[in-house]
Amino acid sequence: KAGVTQTPRYLIKTRGQQVTLSCSPISGHRSVSWYQQTPGQGLQFLFEYFSETQRNKGNFPGRFSGRQFSNSRSEMNVSTLELGDSALYLCASSFLNLGHSGNTIYFGEGSWLTVV
């Protein structure tokens, strides 16, 4: 079956603009998480969604937001872009069993965002 699909793969934006990134999870997976990867900070958790509800949020400013649709697809949005938002944004999905711990998590290829 198809893996986690992220679009677009590469994009360049100007400071002050906003950007929307999309993620389609593996079929049947209802949990979607987002991560930001930068050379300085490494991989950092942004947010997690399950059944259209945000379950957890990382330490990022309110400019970073996300949502999940009824088909489990997810989008994240970054408004008023800053140079420091340049990063690889990774989406992950899993078949989450609520009440049970430990699920294999699969990542997409990521969206490379450059802010100029």
Partner 1 sequence: GIQVEQSPPDLILQEGANSTLRCNFSDSVNNLQWFHQNPWGQLINLFYIPSGTKQNGRLSATTVATERYSLLYISSSQTTDSGVYFCAVEVPGGSEKLVFGKGTKLTVNP
Instruction: Name the residues that contact partner 1, by CB under 8 A.
Output: 31, 33, 35, 37, 42-45, 48, 55-56, 58, 88, 90, 92, 94, 96, 98-99, 101-110, 112
Question: Which CB sits closer to partner 1, 24 or 31?
Answer: 31
Question: Which CB sits closer to partner 1, 67 or 79?
Answer: 67
Question: Which CB sits closer to partner 1, 92 or 115?
Answer: 92
**Contact indicator for 34, 66 with CB cutoff of 8 Å:** yes
Q: How far is the CB of 96 from partner 1 (least distance, A)?
A: 6
CA distance 88 to 53: 24
**14 is written with which tokens?**
């100007």
Burial of 97 (0-12, 13-18, 19+ CB in 10 A): exposed
